[in-house]
A and B are shown apart, each in its own frame.
Chain A
Amino acid sequence: MSIFTEKVGMTRRQFLKGTGMLAVVAIVSGVFAKIGFDAFAASDEYIAQRAAGLYTLDEQMTIRKSHENPEIIQIYEEFLSPGEQKYLSEKAHHLLHTKYGKDIPSFIDELKQHQDVA
């Protein structure tokens, strides 16, 4: 019984076709990759510019820390903790610390209990 096998190697025509197809695939893939990496770079640049803008806005503000805000200090000294700046005072806790979701009904009840104090 004979066993028939293909001739190993390739002709010039076959080589050129194989190389040509690889080249086309490489070029198309390269163009796709370039578009993607450019999009990545543009995105990174946008994020950097946005972050820089936020930092610049922050730096330009006159009052940059809430606990140094004269109005806040005045509210604490005259109302939330009379005579002093006690930031976690009982009244501040009840009035300024809020609750969410299923805790809201109990929070409303709590506020009602303290409405005379406020």
Chain B
Amino acid sequence: MSEDVIKGKVLKHDTQTRTMHWIHLLAFLILGITGIGFYWDIAGIANIFGGPANSSLVHRWTGVVFTVAPILYILLNFDRFSRFVDTITSFSKDDFAWLKTMGGYVPFIKVEEVPPQEKYNAGQKILGILIIIGCLLIILTGFPMWLWRDVVAPATLALCYNIHFWTAIIMILLVLGHFFLAAIHPKSRVEFSSMMLDGYIDAQITAEHNAKWFAELQKTE
């Protein structure tokens, strides 16, 4: 890594990616809140959305948004999607070395130097894979619970409810962890504005956190 400070900005997330992330985030929040309201029968949550029946309707139709938004994004941005899939499914020695040190994010693991990472570090890659699997499980169990509840066997429906619930709980925990690292943790909170605001991140920070990817970007300059 060069000792010189690199002046400049990196466009990490373009407009369509940020828009999709915002839509999916808002949909996820509404789904999570209404879902928690259903499971623990919290009248206060249901009443925010106009009572239990309206809350259920909001949950279902937000589920449609949650499903359609990434589909539209993938169809309109297949190259970006393909690059993303390629990155999160490619694990090198540096990724495993990163995982051993947890990227220096865990206070009691002393790290001299964090291995160079691609556009997404090993932790983000694992998160990406888990989010894709989680979304699929939630979508594939959610629609039968809505549309086929009168025709599938009660045991099948119960299985759908269990998978839907536990996947949602894991997803909520993952998203909370994602939010902490991307918006609060001092080492990485600069990522927040790149996804939630203008898409740009400081070049020097990219050179330190995503050295392999930044080297590629420099080649294309």
Binding site for B on A (CB under 8 A): 1-11, 13-15, 17-19, 21-22, 25, 28-29, 32, 35-36, 39-40, 42-43
Distance in angstroms from B33 CB to nearest chain A CB is 26
Contact (Cβ within 8 A) B10 A4: yes
Q: Contacts of B151 on A, CB cut-off 8 Å?
A: 36, 39-40, 42-43
Beyond A4-B221, A17-B85, A40-B148, 16 additional contacts (C-beta under 8 Å) are A1-B9, A2-B8, A2-B9, A3-B8, A3-B9, A5-B217, A5-B220, A10-B83, A10-B86, A11-B86, A14-B79, A17-B82, A18-B79, A22-B74, A36-B148, A40-B151
Which residues on the B side are within 8 Å of A43 (C-beta)? 150-151
- Cβ-defined contact, A4 with B218, below 8 A: yes
Interface presence of B68 (CB below 8 A): no
Among A3, A4, A6, A28, max chain B CB count under 10 A is at A4
- Among B82, B132, B216, the residue within 8 A (CB) of A10 is B82
| Shortest Cβ distance from A8 into B: residue | B79
A18:B152 contact, CB within 8 angstroms: no
For residue A47, which residue of chain B has the nearest CB?
B151
Range for the number of chain B residues in contact with chain A: 35 or more
8 Å CB interface, B77-113 against A = 78-79, 81-83, 85-86, 89
B197 close to A (CB within 8 Å)? no
Q: CB distance B85 to A29 under 8 Å?
A: no
Q: Is the interface of A mostly helix, strand, loop or mixed?
A: helix
B136 and A28 contact, CB distance less than 8 A? yes
Q: For B141, give the chain A residue with the smallest CB separation.
A: A32
Q: Do B78 and A18 touch (CB < 8 A)?
A: yes
Contact count A vs B, C-beta below 8 Å: 87
- B83 adjacent to A14 (CB under 8 Å): yes
Chain A CB within 10 A, most for which of B83, B147, B216: B83
User: Known: A4-B206, A32-B140. Contact between A18 and B82, CB under 8 A?
Assistant: yes
CB contact between A1 and one of B8, B86, B148 (< 8 Å): that residue: B8
- Taking the closest CB of chain A, its distance from the CB of B2, in whole angstroms, is 14
Partner of A14 from the list B82, B136, B147, B200 (CB cut-off 8 Å) is: B82
Which A-B residue pairs are the 9 nearest by beta carbons? A18-B82, A2-B8, A43-B151, A14-B86, A14-B82, A4-B217, A4-B10, A10-B79, A39-B151
B79 adjacent to A9 (CB under 8 Å): yes
The closest CB in chain A to the CB of B8 belongs to A2
**Known pairs A10-B82, A14-B85; A4 contacts B136 (CB<8 A):** no
Say how far B129's CB is from chain A's closest CB, in angstroms: 10
Chain B residues near A7 (CB, 8 Å)? 216, 220
How far is the CB of A113 from the nearest CB of chain B, in Å? 46
